[in-house]
């Protein structure tokens, strides 16, 4: 075991897998000598050389498009999009190409890859260094979406992702790159994809979160406990395909659900979770399913802490949901 923060855990996973699998290549803007603007790829260029740790020209569509070709040829590319906010120039390649390649070729080809990207607010990044676009990709058939909330999961999920057969969007909560730290095994291990973690069991309200907001939710859950509200706290880890059994079981037990995310509310992933749960657990529900989310505005700079659904707002949502009487 070693103490690592989330960034180090990502870096460790990349290094281990590159040692284990010579087909893994890392590519993106500034990922080489510099080791990435957040230093997630630090040291990889020195260890594996410029053929496997590749600084690309400034074009996200080229990064993903070339990665697709590499993948067809049998490499396992791990492209990085420097900030999730800059993923749109690659949108066509991701949505129309990567996600559909297996399907549209009748299964003749596949293009597994792990697209890593730091996402989310809370680092004073304003409109373009704060976005959480996960729901756009969840809506896209053919790509999976994974978000770790702690170093242990980050390493184990990333290792799983790099061994998976499908394209995966691996979104890293940059706000807690350094703040989230903990014990992480030094060698190889995996955390299963498509399994949520029930981090706290409880009887009254199910609270669902992921990434950086998981920690806000956790804080709110602790405070709720002080008010006598016993929450079940779920960290999704894989957003899609979501671990529906865990969600449904919990919602059936508590009958009350709060979903938290920092993306804008409208058509955010919260809406899908709400819909899935009410479809499955209707008769068990004792309160409206509650969403506590970012607002439907671009992500603001100065007021970012008001924009983000932080613990106090989540607590409010929990209390409202717990107290709801039809």
CB 256 within 8 A of CB 321: yes
174 binds a second copy, rule: CB under 8 A: no
CB of residue 100 to ligand TPP, shortest distance in Å: 14
CB 51 within 8 A of CB 18: no
89 binds ligand TPP, rule: CB under 6 A: yes
CB 207 within 8 A of CB 221: yes
Contacts (CB under 8 A) with another protein, residues 65-94: 65-75, 77, 85-86, 88-89, 92-93
Contacts (CB under 8 A) with a second copy, residues 93-112: 95-96, 99-100, 103-104
How many CB atoms neighbour CB 14 within 10 A? 28
Angle at 166 between CA 144 and CA 267, to 5 degrees: 20
CA distance 11 to 223: 34
Task: Confirm whether 139 is a catalytic residue.
Answer: no
CB of residue 34 to ligand TPP, shortest distance in Å: 11
Out of 110, 197, 225, 271, the only residue in the binding site for another protein (CB under 8 A) is 110
19/109 with CB nearer another protein: 109
127 binds a second copy, rule: CB under 8 A: yes
Structure-token match 């395909």, residue found? 241
Nearest by Cα to 174 from 298, 83, 76, 285: 83
CB 241 within 8 A of CB 144: yes
From residue 15 to residue 34, the character string flagging contacts with ligand TPP as x (rule: CB under 6 A) and all else as - is --------------x-----
Run of H or E including 182: strand 181-184
Local structure of 296: helix, strand or coil: coil
CB of residue 155 to a second copy, shortest distance in Å: 28
CB of residue 55 to ligand TPP, shortest distance in Å: 10
Binding site partner of 290, from a second copy, ligand TPP, another protein, none, Cβ cut-off 5-8 A by kind? a second copy
Distance in Å from the first CA to the final CA of the chain: 49
Binding site for a second copy (CB under 8 A): 85, 88-89, 91-92, 95-96, 99-100, 103-104, 127-128, 135-136, 138-139, 141-142, 240, 263-264, 266-272, 274-275, 278-280, 282-283, 285, 287-291, 296-298, 326
């Amino acid at each position: 075991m070693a103490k690592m923060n989330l960034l180090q855990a990502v870096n460790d996973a990349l290094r281990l897998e590159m040692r284990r699998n010579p087909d893994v290549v890392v590519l993106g803007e500034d990922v080489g000598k510099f080791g990435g603007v957040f230093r997630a790829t630090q040291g990889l260029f020195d260890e594996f050389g410029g053929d496997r740790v590749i600084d690309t020209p400034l074009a996200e569509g080229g990064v993903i498009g070339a990665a697709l070709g590499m993948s067809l040829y049998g490499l396992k590319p791990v492209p990085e999009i420097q900030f999730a906010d800059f993923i749109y120039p690659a949108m066509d390649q991701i949505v129309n190409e990567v996600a559909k390649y297996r399907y549209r070729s009748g299964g003749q080809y596949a293009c597994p890859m792990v697209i890593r990207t730091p996402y989310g607010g809370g680092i004073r990044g304003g409109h373009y260094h704060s976005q959480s676009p996960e729901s756009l990709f969840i809506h896209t058939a053919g790509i999976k979406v994974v978000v770790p909330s702690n170093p242990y999961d980050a390493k184990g999920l990333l290792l799983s992702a790099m061994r998976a057969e499908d394209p995966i969007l691996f979104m890293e909560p940059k706000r807690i790159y350094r703040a989230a730290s903990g014990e992480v095994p030094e060698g190889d291990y995996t955390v299963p994809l498509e399994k949520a973690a029930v981090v706290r069991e409880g009887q009254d309200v199910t609270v669902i979160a992921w990434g950086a907001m998981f920690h806000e939710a956790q804080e709110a859950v602790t405070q709720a406990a002080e008010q006598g509200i016993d929450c079940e706290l779920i960290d999704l880890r894989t957003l899609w395909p979501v671990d529906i059994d865990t969600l449904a079981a919990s919602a059936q037990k508590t009958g009350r659900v709060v979903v938290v995310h920092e993306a804008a509310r409208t058509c955010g992933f919260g809406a899908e979770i709400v819909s899935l749960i009410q479809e499955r657990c209707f008769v068990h529900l004792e309160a409206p399913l509650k969403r506590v989310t970012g607002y439907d505005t671009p992500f603001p700079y100065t007021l970012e802490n008001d924009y983000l659904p932080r613990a106090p707002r989540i607590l409010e949502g929990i209390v409202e949901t717990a107290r709801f009487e039809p």
